[in-house]
């Protein structure tokens, strides 16, 4: 599936995927109305919670992978600027 908005899936699942996208983009913008729309589409509180957990964890792991340079799109320097754990700044921005 390239885009859930145009995919041939049930409208109820499109509502859940819309909610999922909003969580991934900016979970702080989720409102009671967003949750009410998911409920109106036939999903339970457990489904809302499961969706939040999965979307949140996926977003978290993407950031971790990018931060440590484990993906092909990360822009991580080839030489580490870390000197040691004695409180020495890790990068120039901290000096």
> Quick one: pLDDT band at residue 2, thresholds 50, 70, 90?
confident
Locate 29 and state its tokens: 């913008």
User: Does the residue 50 lie in any domain?
Assistant: yes
- How many structural domains does the chain have? 1
- Report how far residue 30's alpha carbon sits from residue 90's, in angstroms, rounded to the nearest whole number: 35
Q: What is the pLDDT of residue 95?
A: 40
Q: What is the pTM of this model?
A: 0.69
Domain span at 79: 11-94
User: Does the residue 2 lie in any domain?
Assistant: no
User: Does the residue 3 lie in any domain?
Assistant: no
User: Does the residue 6 lie in any domain?
Assistant: no
Q: What is the pLDDT of residues 40-90, one digit of tens each?
A: 999 999 999 999 999 999 999 988 998 888 877 655 555 555 554 555 555
- Report how far residue 7's alpha carbon sits from residue 25's, in angstroms, rounded to the nearest whole number: 20
> Quick one: pLDDT band at residue 35, thresholds 50, 70, 90?
very high
């Amino acid at each position: 599936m390239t885009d859930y908005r145009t995919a041939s899936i049930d409208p109820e699942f499109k509502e859940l995927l819309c909610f999922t996208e909003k969580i991934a983009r900016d979970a702080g913008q989720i409102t009671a109305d967003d949750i009410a729309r998911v409920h109106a589409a036939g999903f339970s509180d457990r489904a809302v919670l499961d969706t939040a957990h999965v979307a949140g964890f996926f977003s978290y792991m993407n950031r971790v992978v990018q931060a440590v340079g484990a993906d092909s799109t990360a822009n991580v320097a080839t030489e580490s600027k870390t000197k040691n754990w004695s409180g020495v700044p890790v990068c120039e921005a901290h000096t």
